[in-house]
Amino acid sequence: MKKYLSIALACLMILGSSLLFMSNSAKGAPVAAVYLYQSKGIYQNEVDRQLANLKKVADMQGAPLGATSKDVLESLIDQELLYQAAAQGGYELTQGELDTILAQTKQQLEAKAGRSIPEDELVKILSETYQSTMDEYKESVKRQYTIARYLEAEQAQKVAQTDIQKPTTAEIEDYYNRTIAEYIIPKRVQFASLSLLNEKRSETENYKLATKVASEVQSGALSFEDAVKKYSDDEISKDKGGLQGWLAYTDETNRQALGDGFFLELFALKNGQVSGVLKSNVGYHLVKVLDKGDAKLLTLADKLSLDPVNPMSVGDAISAALLRARGEEAKAVAYKAIIADLRNRASISYPRELK
């Protein structure tokens, strides 16, 4: 776990470390001095501030901190080396690109707030969130995206040179057997529903109407589909014959919403059967079972989804997942190689002892 710490810290600290470099006001000797293409000092207060930020994140997640001052310092050094290499390599954002990103950030905040945000309020929000001035925030975004673009290009080049092997049949079978519980499809039913909702009328009125409709359907005076179109309160499904899709017996969210009684009666119906009046937590229903499926364990050859549009089998999905994981591992190895190369080329000293 320890060997991946620098990578994890780097992912967490790209933006935070950028802000720290912008807002350093310490005097005296730095705890680290970095030179790749230009000289840069890293100070004790930068380390302390980033460590405090990481502690806040850890506390929110209910997890131990897992990082020391030394870990943070070394990660800040890595970020500075990456930024200098990226800027030297021509990956730095232009002012136009930065303006576009800032405008998108503003749009996202406005969408979340559901209203327009004036410029002075935006400055206040960003300042309070990142504990920085607007200029510092802009510079931090510039650093963040500059480093990201550099890493994307460098990692892609190194990964392309890596021989990433496709998973073997034995590896796919091993993964399947170790995670076999994930491939159990529960008992399920596909059904259509004529829904009379309590929000539309009183429960007594709903029940009387449901009884009347059930009588019409059972006598053959009205087909189930025509009854849905004529009476159902569900505007989304009424023009689709009341189609609700597949419902799994293990679907606790819908079970709580509709009620245990509705679930039990629905799953007791036979394929093709139209129910009598069923009561749920939201109203009364007539339902028609369109298809049923028993619980089963999917094999590697079975489709992973009930969706006929998705042809991917369990075996194909596992193969793709393992291949993605190997790609991520290759990127992590590439990251470590990039950092090692930059450190070999750079001059790094520690003028003052870290507290």
Q: How far apart are CA 212 and CA 235, in angstroms?
A: 20
> Which range is least confidently modeled, 20-29, 153-162, 190-199?
20-29
Would you give the DSSP letter of residue 2?
Answer: G
- If asked whether residues 229 and 345 sit together in one domain, one would say no
Last residue of a domain, one of 247, 279, 294: 294
How far is CA 56 from each of CA 51, 60, 72, 86, rounded to the nearest angstrom?
9, 6, 14, 30
Answer whether residue 15 shows pLDDT above 90: no
Domain assignment of residue 19, yes or no: yes
- If asked whether residues 123 and 230 sit together in one domain, one would say no
163: CB partners within 8 A, 6+ apart: none
Report the Cα–Cα distance between both ends of the chain, in Å, rounded. 25
**pLDDT band (50, 70, 90) for residue 87:** very high
Domain assignment of residue 355, yes or no: no
Answer whether residue 10 shows pLDDT above 50: no
Residue-number span of the structural domain to which 148 is assigned = 2-164+324-349
Domain assignment of residue 308, yes or no: no
Tell me how crowded residue 349 is: count the other CB atoms within 10 A of its CB.
10
Answer whether residue 291 shows pLDDT above 80: yes
Give the 3-state secondary structure of residue 184: strand
Number of domains in the chain: 2
- If asked whether residues 131 and 203 sit together in one domain, one would say no
> Which range is least confidently modeled, 25-34, 292-301, 311-320?
25-34
Residues 183-229 have pLDDT tens digits of 999 999 999 999 999 888 999 999 999 999 999 999 999 999 999 99
Across the chain, mean pLDDT equals: 88
**pLDDT band (50, 70, 90) for residue 53:** confident
> Which range is least confidently modeled, 16-20, 113-117, 186-190?
16-20
Domain assignment of residue 103, yes or no: yes
Query: Residue 234 has what pLDDT?
Result: 94
Q: Is 119 exposed, middle or buried (0-12, 13-18, 19+ CB in 10 A)?
A: exposed
- If asked whether residues 210 and 266 sit together in one domain, one would say yes
Domain assignment of residue 205, yes or no: yes
What residue has token string 């400055």?
123
Query: Residue 140 has what pLDDT?
Result: 87
- If asked whether residues 70 and 103 sit together in one domain, one would say yes
292 half-sphere exposure, CB direction, 13 A CA radius: 13
- Regarding pTM above 0.75, the answer is no
Query: Residue 13 has what pLDDT?
Result: 41
Domain assignment of residue 319, yes or no: no
Angle 80-61-1 from CA coordinates, rounded to 5° = 60
Tell me how crowded residue 79 is: count the other CB atoms within 10 A of its CB.
27
Domain assignment of residue 302, yes or no: no
Answer whether residue 135 shows pLDDT above 90: no
- If asked whether residues 16 and 152 sit together in one domain, one would say yes
How far is CA 309 from each of CA 239, 304, 305, rounded to the nearest angstrom?
22, 11, 9
DSSP assignment string, 203-249: HHHHHHHHHHHHHHHHHTSS-HHHHHHHH---TTTGGGTTEEEEEET
In the chain, % of residues over pLDDT 90: 71
- If asked whether residues 21 and 139 sit together in one domain, one would say yes
DSSP assignment string, 157-177: HHHHTS--PPPPHHHHHHHHH
- If asked whether residues 200 and 123 sit together in one domain, one would say no
In CATH, what number is assigned to the domain containing residue 69?
1.10.4030.10
Query: Residue 8 has what pLDDT?
Result: 37
Residue 39 CA, distance from chain mean position? 38
- If asked whether residues 159 and 65 sit together in one domain, one would say yes
- The single-letter code of the amino acid at 248 is A
In CATH, what number is assigned to the domain containing residue 235?
3.10.50.40
Would you give the DSSP letter of residue 4?
Answer: G
207: CB partners within 8 A, 6+ apart: 277, 279, 284
Query: Residue 307 has what pLDDT?
Result: 55
Contacts 24+ apart (CB under 8 A), 305-312: 306/188, 306/246
- If asked whether residues 77 and 213 sit together in one domain, one would say no
Query: Residue 17 has what pLDDT?
Result: 45
Query: What HEC string does 111-154 produce?
Result: HHHCCCCCHHHHHHHHHHHHCCCHHHHHHHHHHHHHHHHHHHHH
Query: Residue 169 has what pLDDT?
Result: 97
Residues 305-345 have pLDDT tens digits of 655 566 789 999 999 999 999 999 999 999 999 999 999 99
| Contact indicator for 292, 305 with CB cutoff of 8 Å | no
Query: Residue 27 has what pLDDT?
Result: 54
- Strand-strand pairing, 347-349 and 243-248: unpaired
- If asked whether residues 8 and 156 sit together in one domain, one would say yes
Domain assignment of residue 16, yes or no: yes
Answer whether residue 100 shows pLDDT above 80: yes
**pLDDT band (50, 70, 90) for residue 22:** very low
Last residue of a domain, one of 294, 315, 334: 294
Strand partners, 332: none
- If asked whether residues 8 and 112 sit together in one domain, one would say yes
